[in-house]
Structure 1
Amino acid sequence: MQRLFLIFCLGLFFSCENSKESKNPENGNILENLTFSVDTVVIDAGEEIINLKNGVRLASVNESKSHFYLFDDKGSQVQKIYLDKLAWEENLPFEKEGPNGIGTGRHSKVIVYSEENFLFVSFPITGIFSKEGGLLKDLTIRYEDFKIEGQEEDESLNLTSQLTLADDQKTAFALPTNLLKGTRKLVKLDLEDSTGKILPIPALDIASEYHIIRQVDDMGMTIYTEPIHIQKFGSDVYLLTQSTNKIYQFDFHTDSVQLHEFDFTIVANQKEIPVKNKVKTEEDFASQIEKAKSQINFEKLIYDEQSETFYRFGRKNIPQANKEVQKIQSFLFAFDKDLNLIGETELKGLETLPESPFFKDGKLWSYVNVEDELGFAVFTFDF
């Protein structure tokens, strides 16, 4: 393991609804004096080739954080990485077709569960498979079989979009998106009786205000949209977007919804400068995107089980005369396990935010490509 000092690594990577406004606790800002160091580690793949063509978009870690599982779509296999030994361990092959097939379409999610069972989400096949490749539970969702409460007439919904399962695997959330309108609808699904209902998420509607379309010709268009994410920690599901710091928390067990609102002091709580939603030229399209990205953008939540702390990065793009050069302002926010705000700070000099980050043993791991080898930047925080 090679120790990289901070000055060096900064240039490399870096059913009812309740509303709650988070307040800083009495102990103040835990990130006020934050410093950190970074190690880079590279996975020993031996004679194997770890496919990084698509990065680690389809990867997950197990509950103990001992292993990292990366789906290689080309090889139709999950590549199992032993993080404690920083080495490739084995490949787990899966069939694409047949009764145990995971499908030949594009997968939107591959998640590892206990005992190395895997959730594969794609259109049209979704299911839970054993590590030996056998289909354990067919969760394929056929839109025409579901009756969705609150659905508009003639409205078609993609019920596998960001599909997120409850622990009992009987209930799920999906987040269909209308790309032309930039709108999202949160759908709660009962997988046993093929019913569902649309749940309102008005606090995140701001994401649709930063939806930009450029009509290229009669047959095509270019679209910029700000994502809304569904994340699951424990038995709860969290809904958030990069356009605002507000977070919805859904409890599967009590069927309750809570809206968390925060009053940040170092950045705005949400984007404030409007953009044009429809443009004609490529230059205007790029200009409006730059306007959206130069405002505050919030990343996904990251949870450290060791300290029972949530973290969330934020960023602002700094416009440059040379469009090939990109610089950002980086921010970090901390919350306790109940999502009370307990810290905020600007990370001066951090030019790239961690990619696909997760906590392991109290340290933040972030994917890096090291000359086409799988690597991780490992952040150690000192409060």
Structure 2
Amino acid sequence: MMSWVLPSLILNFRQVKRLISLISLPLILSCGGNSSEKSDSDKILENFSFSVDTILIDPSDKIINLSYGIGNATLGPERQFLYQFDPSKPQINQINLNSFKLENQYPFEEEGPNGIAPLIFGMQFLDNGQLILGGYGAQYGVFTLQGKKVQELNLNPADYKGLEALEITDLGLRFTFSKDGRFGSVLKRIGESNSSELIVFDLETMTGKVFWLPEMEQAFDYSLEFQAGNRIRFVGDGIWLNQIENGVLVGNSTNNKLYQYEFDTDSLKLMEYDFSLVPNQKERPIKKEVNSLEEYLVEEEIALSQIYFGSLIYDDSSNRFFRFGRILEPKKDGEQTRKGDIFLFMFDQNFRLLGEAKMEGIYSIPQSAFFKDGKLWSYVNVDDELGFAIFDFKF
């Protein structure tokens, strides 16, 4: 199969609506739209527009497993390749983003001296080109792309001064390391107390600290589960952890607040925002418990119809951060998917809000998104083939 590119289109909102009614869902992201918001606020991006190209990756005679979407994937240090972890092998697929081809497949071992964790939850490149894989049981290791384990990373709190009160089972799934590998950061596993905490490890001095993140705990108010027989229904907001230069960033999908932790200064800072186009947080509460599926569906609708915030995405070309927000329309009978209003928020390198815009013509937040050469790449599945929608923003 050959790689291909759909021509870029720049359309007004009426044209987009008409085109969407004529094409299938995988091609919705192949068209562009523009947005112009009129407001007295200087934070509204009045001249914002965007176009979208869609490309497919040529797997040659190999298979790219998309059973879990793109799953665990990360850009390499050179930003030419995307590395996707395939847990079914296990192996890492090296995808060339310049030629739109599957370049290589690197196998990894499940057992032995070079064995990886049973379930991989995340991976990250260090500045030296080596790769950290972290997974079940708080197992973290440094590997080469050829599958050799270079180092086992010990994040057992019992071995760190200042973390003796914690157990290794307190470590959650979300983690990140500094680019030199000296510092590790993990979100604490959510326990019965519903407390949000950031655990920071200094692997050089074997010391650590725990930071309470009270403004993240609103996310717990929008988690609800209902079980009927063998089927479990669940709705919930999440807390995320991002690596940034010399630190980490923590946010959630319930409100627009951010925590920034810096390794050098060992300091935690809360950042709050007042958006113009959307609420700053979810406002209607939902019940903590329900007794029937009908009651659950009512509460689920309340949660999903309110604002949802994505994580921040860094563009190294402009030195800016971008964040998406979404408000879903009411669900219609018989429809499996639902449309939503999508919003874009732009920040400078110090996380000051630069502007807001509504993105006309798209109805879902770009998935597994990252920036390359100043353009936003978003994963799309086109008939079980790996594709990307490439957004070109104009301000």
Give the TM-score taking structure 2 as reference length. Answer: 0.85
SS state of the match for residue 162, structure 1?
strand
1:363 aligned residue (365, 368, 375): 375
Given the alignment, which residue of 81, 84, 98 partners 1:67?
81
Q: Do the aligned residues in 2 keep the contact of 1:69 with 1:112 (CA within 8 Å)?
A: no
Residue 164 of structure 1 is matched in structure 2 by 176
Residue 245 (structure 2) aligned to one of 234, 242, 257: 234
Residue 268 of structure 1 and its aligned partner are, at CA, apart by: 0.9
Structure 1 residue 146: Cα displacement: 5.3
Taking the aligned partners of 1:195 and 1:216, their CA distance within structure 2 comes to 46
Find the counterpart in structure 2 of residue 2 from structure 1.
Answer: 6
Q: Distance in 2 between matches of 1:213 and 1:273?
A: 18
Q: Residues 303 and 81 from structure 1, CA distance in 2 versus in 1: closer, same or farther, beyond 3 angstroms?
A: same
Residue of structure 2 in register with 1:260 after alignment: 271
Please give the residue correspondences for 1:112-127 in structure 2 after superposition, counting only pairs within 5 Å: 112-124=125-137, 125-127=139-141
How large is the Cα RMSD of the aligned pairs? 2.6
Q: Answer yes or no: is the 8 Å Cα contact 1:157–1:176 preserved in 2.
A: no
* CA deviation after TM superposition for structure 1 residue 191, in Å: 3.4
Structure 1 residue 178, shift from structure 2 partner: 2.4
Q: 2:196 aligns with which of 144, 166, 184?
A: 184
Query: 2: CA distance between counterparts of 1:174 and 1:216?
Result: 34
Distance across 1 between alignment mates of 2:289 and 2:194: 12
Shift of 1:210: 1.4
Matching of residues 16-27 of structure 1 within 5 Å: none
Deviations 1:76-95 (CA, angstroms, capped at 9, x unpaired): 11010111111111111111
**More displaced stretch, 37-46 vs 114-123:** 114-123
Cα distance, 1:62–1:156 mapped onto 2, change above 3 Å: closer
Contact 2:133 2:141 in 1 (8 A): yes
Query: Aligned in 2, Cα 1:326/1:236: closer, same or farther, shift over 3 Å?
Result: same
Quote the Cα distance in structure 2 between the aligned partners of 1:308 and 1:35. Answer: 19
Deviations 1:293-343 (A, max 9, x none): 211111010111111111100001111232524111110101111111111
Q: How is 1:212-223 mapped onto 2 (pairs within 5 angstroms)?
A: 212-214=224-226, 223=234
Q: Is residue 206 of structure 1 aligned with residue 218 of structure 2?
A: yes
Determine if contact 2:126/2:180 at 8 Å carries over to the other structure.
no
Q: Counterpart of 1:83?
A: 97
1:248 corresponds in structure 2 to 259
Query: Following TM superposition, by how much is the alpha carbon of 1:156 offset from its aligned partner in structure 2, in angstroms?
Result: 7.0
State the Cα distance separating 1:208 from its structure 2 match.
1.6
> Which residue of the partner structure matches residue 39 of structure 1?
53
Which stretch of structure 1 is more off in the superposition, 78-87 or 166-175? 166-175
2:298 counterpart residue number: 287
CA contact under 8 A between 2:224 and 2:234: conserved in structure 1? yes
State how far apart, in whole Å, the 2-side matches of 1:253 and 1:206 are: 29
Partner of 2:32: none
C-alpha contact 1:182 1:225 (8 A) present in aligned 2: no
2:326 to 311, 315, 324: 315
Pairwise CA distance, 1:189: 2.2
Q: 1:361 to 1:289 in 2, by over 3 A?
A: same
C-alpha separation in 2, matches of 1:181 and 1:220:
26
Check the 8 A contact 2:194/2:217 in 1, yes or no: no
Query: Relative contact order: is structure 1 or structure 2 higher (C-alpha 8 Å, sep ≥ 6)?
Result: 1
| Cα distance change, pair 289–179 in 1 and its aligned pair in 2 (3 A) | farther
CA–CA separation in structure 2 for the residues paired with 1:189 and 1:128: 16
The one-letter code sitting in structure 2 at the alignment partner of 1:3 is P
Aligned residues of 1:108 and 1:121 also touching (Cα < 8 A) = yes
Q: Is the 8 A contact 2:313 2:369 kept in 1?
A: yes
Count of aligned pairs between the two proteins: 368
SS of the aligned residue for 2:68 comes to coil
- The TM-score normalised by the length of structure 1 is 0.88
Query: After superposition, what is the alpha-carbon deviation per residue over 1:122-168, rounded to whole angstroms, capped at 9, x for unaligned?
Result: 1233101011211111014346555664958xx77432521211234
Answer yes or no: is 1:340 the counterpart of 2:352: yes
User: Helix, strand or coil: the match of 1:268?
Assistant: coil
CA separation in 1, counterparts of 2:164 and 2:254? 25
What displacement does 1:60 show? Answer: 0.5
| Cα-to-partner distance string for 1:335-375 (whole Å, 9 max, x where unaligned) | 11111111101112311221011111111100111111111
- Whether the 8 Å CA contact 2:127–2:179 is kept in 1: the answer is no
Which residue identity lines up with residue 134 of structure 2 in the other structure? V
1-structure distance, mates of 2:72, 2:194: 24
Q: Which amino acid aligns with 2:50?
A: F
**Counterpart of 1:135?**
149
Q: Counterpart of 1:55 in 2: which secondary structure? A: strand
In structure 2, do the counterparts of structure 1 residues 188 and 220 end up closer, same or farther at CA, with 3 Å as the change threshold? farther
Deviation at 1:182, TM superposition (A): 4.5
Amino acid at match of 1:270: Q
Query: How far apart are the structure 2 equivalents of 1:172 and 1:46?
Result: 38
Structure 1 residues 244 and 232, CA gap change in structure 2 (3 angstroms): same
